[in-house]
Structure 1
């Protein structure tokens, strides 16, 4: 994070001098900053001196006001979150003035005499539509709060927001820029690429792609999870243009088909599952002995772990693979840690284990549109014991010891 720029934006907000573009920039910085970034920002701001009247009760009262007045109601999923920047930026101004009050609210931590506002699991809303688009020139656009219309023009390609989808119109383009769309925890989004290919991004995912496909192939790079519906090969300068998805451990070569790729860094393997058509999956890097690759047919799944080449499994559980896109958690036969990683991404929480991880497996399917508290009550019926702590900390209790 550029701390000087962030502090400038907060001061502009405090003085009510933010332009619309600066508001979007402030929100983008707030959304994308990780815990290490907040630690560094806190340390830098703490070198100053807080106004004397910013004591604990005052901060508690102000934070309560910010959250009560400006934060959109989490239970109403159809509401456009056009005021998201207000409460995040307002809380950020308190950080600027009082050294860490925002961090205490954001993570629920204490230790400076300020009491963090308690949040129960029942108040943790499910994820929703939203993403951050990074343009070729480095500008960031928070898509959560924008209305329909053209949001950027890059070398002849129009970037259009249309009813929750990001669409690229490259008819007039003769050159390509590189864009990147990222979904934080608790967000998902859909992109229509310049060739008409549709991509659904799950939470905590990033897709890197050109604004126009002008070469001999259509190459995109994925981190996280996405479902692709690829258009048939258009004609390129050297014949047809295959569609290629590159992840940390696989490269998937496509003609025109539907498939899902799960490439989260905290999952044990990268998995490509084919629904329709045909794809060829190579392991990466080739130097590790992953050359050759495998062909997949509908219903098959290729899994790559470390330096091993792709392993093909027939009769993949397509309902489980596609549950996230269809608005559900499919817990059929999942280990506890597998299920909890899904909850971390969708509800933007952190899961830890008290006494080790209990040997619990879940079964069945649950709607992803329920709040965290309701979901945990359902899982408690399957033997899950837990407590929920400030800062979005879900602690799983091992009752077997």
Structure 2
């Protein structure tokens, strides 16, 4: 039987709160063969989830987890849980824990499935690779999985678009727009080699080529984007700047995430590696890795918080990672990815929350069944693209 210390470390790991030493202890314990089934039983009993997987899902799930664990190793070199992948795979596609912010833990009672209504759910599908490209002459090109496109400046295979590596000798440049709709995602490699991942409902404005000797500048018009910036040392020392709404981010070569949706009053900038300067009319901040600025447009304030980076960037690797998020916040994320309208028939449900990891390729019905099985919601109705929770 697991010791109290190991049980504590398991809980902390599932909730993304384990320290380096606790992860090391858990790594040593879980890699002993006799502890494998005990670990799975502990999770199944204490978190009320089904730890079985379909064989056809194993490789897909393991790949998702492998990407996440690879990111963890790169960010936290002291974490040695690579062999933990085969155990961690049981968490993908399920909600790990549930709680009410206001009223504490509640009973997990099986709900009456007969009250569930599903109509035309085949119209609600997980997001996929798609975007529209607006060229400098105003032409609009539809980019989507399975379709290829090429012009004199760029090539797309339907999943991403890559611009040719060349420099414009004059300051005058032409701009393209890449717009990702609800239910979409896309990846672009800019002419300087900078990689940008765009989440659902996002738009990026960028130059087709960068002027020689001039700072490289792009604009996240709205939405969410992850930047892996080509270092200034490869571009004669030119800085890379990202503009969006009320702030400007200046970098020399780094990785960071910006979340700035049109329907939200907060802009979040999270630093993964390197160093960035965040400038706004309400103050300037310098970020260190694992720090996040929260710019509140209404209050006109800027705060810095230390965050779990993996929770913020998991979307890039095909995962949702929810930690202490209210149900209304979670539904906002899901509504963008599944292109849904979500309505709360019972407003109190907005206060319910989850901790856990879930694959972005899950069917929306599976997610709803999991939420219902925990007793968070009594019923749900899914008609075409409208979801009603009560």
User: Does TM, normalized by the shorter one, top 0.5?
Assistant: yes
Q: Which residue of 2 aligns with 1:139?
A: 139
The residue number in structure 1 matching 2:377 is 384
The 1:133–1:172 alpha-carbon spacing in structure 2 relative to 1, beyond 3 Å, is: same
Residues 222-260 of structure 1 show CA distances to partners (whole Å, capped at 9, x for unaligned) of 110011100111577xx6221111111321111100111
Flag the structure with higher strand content. 2
Which of 1 and 2 has higher RCO (CA within 8 Å, sep 6+)? 2
Task: Give, in whole Å, the separation in 2 of the partners of 1:146 and 1:366.
Answer: 26
Give 1:7's aligned residue.
Answer: none
The DSSP-based 3-state class of the residue aligned with 1:337 is: helix
Q: Does 1:231 align with 2:222?
A: no
One of 168, 178, 183 as aligned partner of 2:180: 183
The residue aligned with 1:56 is: none
Residues 282 and 310 in structure 1, CA contact (< 8 A), matched pair in contact too: no
Contact persistence 1:230–1:243 (CA under 8 A): yes
Q: Residues 249 and 172 from structure 1, CA distance in 2 versus in 1: closer, same or farther, beyond 3 angstroms?
A: closer
Equivalent runs, 1:2-401 vs 2, <5 Å: 119-121=119-121, 124-144=124-144, 147-148=147-148, 151-153=150-152, 158-162=153-157, 164-171=159-166, 173-174=168-169, 175-214=172-211, 216-222=214-220, 223-233=222-232, 240-283=237-280, 286=281, 290-291=282-283, 293-306=284-297, 307-314=299-306, 316-358=307-349, 359-382=351-374, 383-397=376-390
Count of residues in Structure 1 that have an aligned counterpart in Structure 2? 267
Q: What's the CA shift string for 1:99-127, capped at 9, x where partnerless?
A: xxxxxxxxxxxxxxxxxxx8444652211
User: Could you tell me whether the CA contact under 8 Å between 2:145 and 2:157 is conserved in 1?
Assistant: no
**Structure 1-normalised TM-score?**
0.63
| TM-score of the two chains, using structure 2 as the length reference | 0.64
Secondary structure of the equivalent of 1:340?
helix
Unaligned runs of 5+ in 2: 1-59, 61-117
SS at 2:347 equivalent? coil
Quote how far apart the aligned CAs of 1:145 are: 5.5
The answer as to whether partners of 1:122 and 1:374 remain within 8 angstroms in 2 is no
Distance 1:259 1:370, change over 3 A: same
Q: Contact (CA 8 Å) 2:168, 2:210: kept in 1 or not?
A: no
1 CA distance for matches of 2:234 and 2:356?
45
**Quick one: structure 1 residues 363 and 197, their matched pair in 2 at CA, closer, same or farther if it must change by over 3 Å?**
same
Tell me how far apart the structure 2 counterparts of residues 180 and 230 of structure 1 sit (CA, whole Å): 18
The list of structure 1 runs, each at least 4 consecutive aligned residues, that deviate by more than 6 angstroms after superposition, is none
- What SS is found at the alignment partner of 1:266? coil
* 2: CA distance, partners of 1:396 / 1:128: 25
Q: CA deviation at 1:389?
A: 4.1
Secondary structure of the 2:178 match is strand
Rounded Cα–Cα distance in structure 2 between residues aligned with 1:333 and 1:180: 35
State the shift of 1:385 in Å. 3.5
Quote how far apart the aligned CAs of 1:261 are.
0.6
**2:10: which partner in 1?**
none
Could you say which residue in structure 2 is the equivalent of 1:36? none
